Amino acid sequence: MITLENISHKFEIGKKGKKTIIPVLNDVSLHVRKEEIVTIVGRSGSGKSTLLNIISGFIHPTEGKITIDGTDVTTFNEAKFADFRLEHLGFIFQSFQLIPSMTAFQNVELPLILKGVPEKERIEKTNNMLETVGIKDFADHYPSELSGGQQQRVSIARALIVNPPIILADEPTGSLDSETEEDILNFIKKLNSELGITFLIITHDERVAQIGHRTLEIADGKLVKEAALV
């Protein structure tokens, strides 16, 4: 589902004459199979977010090839990647990234509006999705009127609403207490086993890493370890 071949990335900071090159990823290759959960761990600053941003098309790597869901996206420009993301990738973030002025329903409906789905179909799909994630009763609540776990469920619903085959998650339980964390992790496992959604998750958290069929570690810009946990 996701194949990275020989990805390297260097950031360049500073002005002309005083440029500093920061090498972050060095010859990273990775293959995430269909219906797999892969977790990526690594110290702060090891390059996890950079890797996720490269797969998401927000950062163009200095070198290497990226194939997602059978499509070579390496040379996609911003607009092309934005369209591709809408069809193929869902995102879950630590901070939920919900729009505060929109209700749970409106947050989940938004990707369908961006895709141009007609209103009647949008309402039906959004209601079904709110039911799937167990927050139908909270459809009219604003994010500030929801618990952390409920907000993450809304954000998962928003990620799932366009049926992406792959979900990319950045510390999906980083803002949650341990009980709610367990609830969300079980929910991710269920989405994987029942709907066949592929997950790539980056995390510091051992409990999150444990839900991966495989866990990879990034250190010094390289993927250094691959451990099967289940």
124 sits in which H/E element: helix 119-132
Q: CA-CA distance, 162 to 48, in Å (whole number)?
A: 26
Distance between first and last Cα of the chain: 20
Q: CA-CA distance, 14 to 165, in Å (whole number)?
A: 39
Q: CA-CA distance, 223 to 215, in Å (whole number)?
A: 10
Q: Please answer whether residues 126 and 109 qualify as being in contact, where contact means their C-beta atoms are separated by less than 8 angstroms.
A: yes
Give residues in contact with ligand ATP (CB under 6 A).
Answer: 11, 13, 22, 24, 42, 44-50
Taking the complex as a whole, how short is the minimal distance between the CB of residue 84 and ligand ATP, in angstroms?
22
Please choose, from the candidates 87, 197, 178, the residue with its C-alpha nearest in 3D space to the C-alpha of residue 132: 197
Taking the complex as a whole, how short is the minimal distance between the CB of residue 21 and ligand ATP, in angstroms?
10
Nearer to ligand ATP, 115 or 204 (CB): 204
Nearer to ligand ATP, 9 or 125 (CB): 9
Nearer to ligand ATP, 126 or 173 (CB): 173
Please choose, from the candidates 124, 120, 121, 140, the residue with its C-alpha nearest in 3D space to the C-alpha of residue 132: 124
Taking the complex as a whole, how short is the minimal distance between the CB of residue 25 and ligand ATP, in angstroms?
8
Q: Please answer whether residues 27 and 7 qualify as being in contact, where contact means their C-beta atoms are separated by less than 8 angstroms.
A: yes
Nearer to ligand ATP, 21 or 195 (CB): 21
Taking the complex as a whole, how short is the minimal distance between the CB of residue 50 and ligand ATP, in angstroms?
3
Taking the complex as a whole, how short is the minimal distance between the CB of residue 181 and ligand ATP, in angstroms?
17
Taking the complex as a whole, how short is the minimal distance between the CB of residue 202 and ligand ATP, in angstroms?
7
Q: 3-state class of 220 per DSSP?
A: coil
Nearer to ligand ATP, 132 or 203 (CB): 203
Nearer to ligand ATP, 50 or 192 (CB): 50
Nearer to ligand ATP, 99 or 219 (CB): 219
Q: CA-CA distance, 31 to 28, in Å (whole number)?
A: 10
Q: CA-CA distance, 205 to 220, in Å (whole number)?
A: 19
Taking the complex as a whole, how short is the minimal distance between the CB of residue 91 and ligand ATP, in angstroms?
15
Q: Which two tokens stand for residue 193?
A: 């086993």
